[in-house]
Chain A
């Protein structure tokens, strides 16, 4: 006899599931643990209250699948990376974009703030990584190009963003 109770390990849910229209690719906490940011195949990014499970802003909209979304170290901004070939910096409280889109030549797979929150690093499917001014949205140097055949799922792991 097979018991449903032995099928898998089970943790207790803390709140209702955070719902998107399609696959959720990433979910990250804010630095203070009070909020969550999720991003999805459905082209949207959502900011949620972790304790209640309620959305805190309207959906942040990209033109295509969103691979990654992360808070800034001070928790006030969110940076996202999308198949629409852009990364974007948003106000986490209002859901409004703070700069023009950070444009790449292909899908952007990952985007992350520097520890001081002043810069953003992005990683693109075409093998390019780029550092940007987080406030103006302007590129700060020429792109760092990896070999094409290198799997660019997370080139950011090679880009060490120290305080300078």
Chain B
């Protein structure tokens, strides 16, 4: 990384990386404390488990998640955390790349796939973990000529291509 700077309001971070011909703007939000009670409930429901009063893991039902998601979607509250939660719960196929962005995720991922570099494909896979094409292209990028030369990359390529096949058959 060559340089990094926060925006004056702290909401974004600009970075530039020597190896790429790009500067990148990242979403680095801060939220006012204390957090509302629904936030840990959303986190527990999304994870599907919670710690009970005695510290034991308890399963949180999928219907609880669906109910909280419904409440978030219907909430009229315009505060930033609610806006974030609406984004978090929204359909990945149609939502934006980050809560206060106007860029559509699907188009953004398509462009990262078209760039077809190691970094751009890694980003596509992270943003769109059900995109079989991104997994397949990243696997091909990582495949070394001689698998014994870099076993770590060979193993990762194998795992990525399995993911690609899984996505293709869904």
- Total chain B interface residues with beta-carbon distance under 8 A: 45
In whole angstroms, how far apart are the Cα atoms of A42 and B18 in the complex?
12
Q: Bits for B121-138, please: 1 = Cβ < 8 Å to A, else 0.
A: 011011101000000001
Chain A nearest CB, measured from B45 CB (Å): 21
User: Which residue of chain B is the closest to A23 with respect to CB atoms?
Assistant: B18
Residues of A within 8 A of B17 (CB): 24
**Is B14 a contact partner of A36 (Cβ separation < 8 A)?**
yes
- Interface stretch, picked from A13-21, A80-88, A91-99, is A13-21
Besides A5-B126, A24-B17, A33-B7, 6 other CB < 8 A contacts?
Answer: A4-B126, A12-B26, A24-B22, A26-B2, A32-B8, A36-B23
Q: How far is the CA of A27 from the CA of B3 in the complex (A)?
A: 7
Q: Which of A134-149 touch B at CB < 8 Å? A: none
Cβ–Cβ contact B27 & A12, under 8 A: yes
| B13 touches A (CB below 8 Å) | yes
The smallest C-beta distance from B32 to any residue of chain A, in angstroms, reads 19
Interfacial chain B residues near A51, Cβ < 8 Å: 102
Chain A, interface SS category: loop
Q: Which of B48-56, B63-71, B75-83, B154-162 contacts A (4 or more CB under 8 A)?
A: B154-162
**Taking beta carbons and an 8 Å cutoff, which residues of A are in contact with B?**
1-5, 7, 10-29, 31-33, 36, 38, 40-42, 50-53
Contact, CB under 8 Å: A16 / B108: yes
Report the minimal beta-carbon distance from B17 to chain A, rounded to whole angstroms. Answer: 7
Nearest chain B CB to A163's CB is how many angstroms away?
Answer: 21
Which one, B22, B28, B126, B152, contacts A19 given CB within 8 A? B22
Question: Closest Cβ of chain B: how far from A71's Cβ, in Å?
Answer: 11
Inter-chain contacts of A21 with B (CB < 8 A)? 21
Knowing A38-B16, A50-B25, say if A12 contacts B160 (CB, 8 Å). no
Q: Are A38 and B23 in contact (CB under 8 A)?
A: yes
Query: Which of A1, A3, A36, A42 contacts B21 (CB under 8 A)?
Result: A42
Does B5 sit within 8 A of A, measured CB to CB?
Answer: yes
B8 partner, pick from A33, A40, A52, beta carbons under 8 A: A33
B22 touches A17 (CB 8 A): yes
B23 touches A50 (CB 8 A): no
A13 B16 Cβ-Cβ under 8 A: no
17 pairs from A and B in contact (CB 8 Å cutoff): A2-B155, A2-B156, A4-B125, A10-B126, A13-B25, A13-B127, A14-B25, A14-B26, A18-B22, A18-B23, A20-B22, A21-B21, A25-B16, A27-B5, A27-B16, A28-B14, A33-B7
Tell whether, in the assembled complex, residue A24 and residue B20 are in contact, meaning their CB atoms are under 8 Å apart: yes
Kindly list chain B residues whose C-beta atoms are within 8 Å of the C-beta of A4.
Answer: 122, 125-126, 138, 156, 159-160
B24 adjacent to chain A (CB < 8 Å): yes
Residue of B8, B14, B19, B103 touching A27 (CB-CB under 8 A): B14
Contact of B3 among A26, A40, A41 (CB under 8 A): A26
Q: Nearest chain A CB to B19's CB is how many angstroms away?
A: 8
